[in-house]
Chains A and B, each alone.
Chain A
Amino acid sequence: MILKIAWRNIWRNKKRTLITTLSISGALFLIILMRSMQFGFYDNIINTIVQSYSGYVQVHANGYWDKQSVNNSMEVDEKFINEINSIDGIDNIAKRLQTFSLVSKGEKSKGVIITGIEIEKEQLITDWDKRIIEGSKSFDNADRIILSKGIAEYFDVTMGDTLVLFGQGYQGMMAAGKYVANGIIDLKNPKLNENAIFMDIESAQDYISSENIATHLVIDKKEYYDEKKIAEDVRKAISSDYEVMTWKEILPELDQMITADNVGGLIMAFILYVIVCFGMFGTVLMMTEERMYELGVLLSIGMDKIKLYLIILLETIMLSSIGVIIGVLTTRPISHYFNKNPINMDSFGEGLGDAMGEFGFDPIMPFSINWDIPISHAAFIFGISLLISIYPAIRILSLNPVKAMKK
């Protein structure tokens, strides 16, 4: 009966109910789309940079990050990897050996980052296969390399072409060799696409004249695990001869950019919530004040104050529920559409895509379809309803039936 009274009460003033629910759904529509766009953008950045390249956690020899040289590499054996792998939350680990070199073909040359990888393990972490756009997905032979898209374009490489690599090897040795292009990879990161060359880790060790060394251990985490906690656990498990870094420490500017943008979104959401809050409060205020007489009657015929409050609370929750349902249902198809068809940043203005490329981001903005976004904001709206219902609760608690019915 209380439910029935509440439901019918909200439709006593249809216009007011429609305006209130539309203001809730409108604000929620804007908030959800804005946050879906932001989180989709962050996910895309993290996906292109973290998941497909840097990993969530990295282990290096102490001091490597400040002075990135093969002379600061570490010896890595299976026992060491197994020790780390036993830590809760770690999905996969891959070794990498990274060095800087000069690559040349014909008259052209270019500075590049050579990365020696274990291709099977790399596949598990960075989904290697899916990003190969031409040629073979593996190295097939010790002198084979896979080039990033930008390098292939720069040197106009076709499969089977030979490139010369020249650089500094381990402990002052000279590194040089001829390598055959075996594949082209699109790293989905304009900056990385300009300067990355991959070869088998053993070939890379041969290239720099050293055995069993690596510069990076790249760690991928299981879903929903916190990389910070994993990094702490790894630190505890291994000696202090190693440095353990999360992707946020490896790429602090990326983390700062996401944090700053996220705060901007939260401020915007806060402004919209304030508007919703006042709109809802106005309605609840009217719903309470204009019915004081009726509430007095209910009290006089024996309805207790808790039930009276429940009626108004239910009305407030129903109003917000209608708004929330409309808001969530209208944003869902839009989020799904832009998740499948991401907005190209160039459509916001000429050169914007290139500018983002300079920062190493793919210039697309896919929307996130994670249910956490609508659910968290819907829950916030319900929280606001509960907060607003404090006002009628106070009015009802102090309600005197005679005074109420005199109004």
Chain B
Amino acid sequence: MIETEELKKTYKQGSLKVKAVDNVNLKISDGEFTAIVGPSGSGKTTLLNCIGGLDNPTSGKVIIDGELISSYSSNQMIKFRLNNIGFVFQSYNLIPVLTAKENIEMVMLMQGYNKQDMEKRSSDLLNEVGMGDMSKRRPAELSGGQQQRVAVARSLASKPKFILADEPTANLDSKSTAKLLDIMSRLNKQENITFVFSTHDQRVIDRARRVVTLEDGKIIKDIKK
């Protein structure tokens, strides 16, 4: 379960203070397929960053399965992210010098997997996202959609509690988007993996079972379908 309590994040822009996230109280249960939507600058990415421990909130709490992660030190947070959170980024962010398979294995290597388990799991994950035959290709040799599918496989490598996806379809064509959403949806239903998206892509919103709308850092709507 992901919980935020009175979460605030304020940025300084020159002499101005900008409230990117303003008093957000949110609970996301295990197995949800949630989209956080809103116009640009509404605070979607900042909220996701605070939940994922990439950014420290100015005040308030982030609690994951009862653990108050917003009080963690930088090193504790890195370890927590490695073992509990999967990230999917807008621009895929695969390591360009590693192959698709190595990109996935790298996460497991950081977790201390042995070689055999690592190889088996990375192959399974690549097959899961339909990229089994492209395991030896480097990111530059893959299309945007293919890279994003590898990124999803990478995010699953560490067996995370949930996956945070920041505008995962923003750079994809409709065919790739549909394929990616099919994969994510299947993983959510079959493996009960929690997905939280920040997006303004209607195709993602249509597939989400819960849509949280942000405006000026505040939740203005929370609809469960």
Contact = CB atoms under 8 A, between A and B. Distances in A.
A contact residues, range: 20 to 34
Contact of B82 (A5, A294, A302): A302
A4 B102 contact: yes
Contacts of A297: 89, 93, 95
Nearest to A8: B97
A1 B78 contact: no
B102 A301 contact: no
B79 interface: yes
Given A1-B105, A401-B54, A402-B49, A300 B79 contact: no
A19 interface: no
Majority DSSP secondary structure for residues of A touching B? helix
B97 A300 contact: no
B96 interface: yes
B contact residues, range: 20 to 34
A393 to B, nearest CB: 15
A298 interface: yes
B78 A305 contact: yes
Contacts of B98: 4-5, 8
Contacts of B179: none
Contacts of B78: 299, 302-305
A302 B109 contact: no
A8 B106 CA distance: 14
B158 interface: yes
Interface in A248-306: 293-294, 297-305
A130 interface: no
B97 A5 contact: yes
Contacts, number: 60
A2 to B, nearest CB: 9
Contacts of B61: none
A301 B107 contact: yes
A304 B107 contact: no
Contacts of A1: 102, 105-106, 109
B8 interface: no
A368 B194 CA distance: 69
A261 B109 CA distance: 54
A302 B95 contact: no
A302 B105 contact: no
Contact of A301 (B81, B96, B105): B81
Given A5-B97, A402-B49, A300 B102 contact: no
B93 A302 contact: no
A12 B107 contact: no
Interface in A1-45: 1, 4-5, 8-9, 12
Given A12-B96, A302-B79, 17 more contacts: A1-B102, A1-B105, A5-B98, A9-B97, A297-B89, A300-B52, A300-B54, A301-B81, A301-B87, A302-B83, A302-B107, A302-B111, A302-B158, A303-B82, A303-B106, A305-B75, A402-B55
Interface of A: 1, 4-5, 8-9, 12, 293-294, 297-305, 307, 401-402, 405
7 closest cross-chain pairs (CB), A and B: A302-B82, A8-B97, A297-B93, A302-B81, A402-B55, A401-B54, A1-B109
10 contacts: A5-B98, A8-B98, A12-B96, A294-B95, A301-B87, A302-B79, A304-B79, A307-B110, A405-B89, A405-B93
